[in-house]
């Protein structure tokens, strides 16, 4: 059965800290892995990863995928209080379904 496991479940840091969020997965026939930020209601897209070892970067956020070890990490450097949110990882298989499988998320709280 396909699954996505995120860790840690929650994290509290202080402004300026660097955090690393983990997403490990098991899937038949991997296609893509996505990261989302969910602050109140609607998740907002951060990254889509399809190839191993290629870092995607946007400002203080970056992400990389390891298809051999079946995980992805999301890094946030110099955290700010506005980074406080739930970070979701989602997986899609290559064929047979349009279904995205989401993890339960990591709840990040950044203290001033």
Partner 1 sequence: GAGVSQSPRYKVAKRGQDVALRCDPISGHVSLFWYQQALGQGPEFLTYFQNEAQLDKSGLPSDRFFAERPEGSVSTLKIQRTQQEDSAVYLCASSLLRTGEDTQYFGPGTRLTVL
Interface with partner 1 by CB under 8 A: which range of 11-19, 60-68, 69-77, 86-94?
A: 86-94
65 binds partner 1 (CB under 8 A): no
SS3 readout for 32-83: EEEEEEECCCCEEEEEEECCCCCCEEECCEEEEEECCCCEEEEEECCCCHHH
d(CA 25, CA 72): 9
Member of 102, 108, 110, 112 binding partner 1 (CB under 8 A): 102
Is 17 or 86 the residue whose CB approaches partner 1 more closely?
Answer: 86
30 binds partner 1 (CB under 8 A): no
**Alpha carbon 15 to its chain's center:** 20
42 binds partner 1 (CB under 8 A): yes
Residues that bind partner 1 (CB under 8 A): 4, 31-32, 41-45, 48, 88, 90, 92, 97-105
């Amino acid at each position: 059965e396909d699954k996505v496991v995120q860790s840690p479940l929650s994290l509290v840091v202080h402004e300026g800290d660097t955090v690393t969020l983990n997403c490990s997965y098991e899937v038949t026939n991997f296609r893509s892995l996505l990261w989302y930020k969910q602050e109140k209601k609607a998740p907002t897209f951060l990254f889509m990863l399809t190839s191993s070892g290629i870092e995607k970067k946007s400002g203080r956020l970056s992400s990389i995928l390891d298809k051999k070890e079946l995980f992805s990490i999301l890094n946030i450097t110099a955290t700010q209080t506005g980074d406080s949110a739930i970070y979701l990882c989602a997986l899609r298989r290559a064929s047979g379904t349009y279904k995205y499988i989401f993890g339960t998320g990591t709840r990040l709280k950044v203290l001033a």
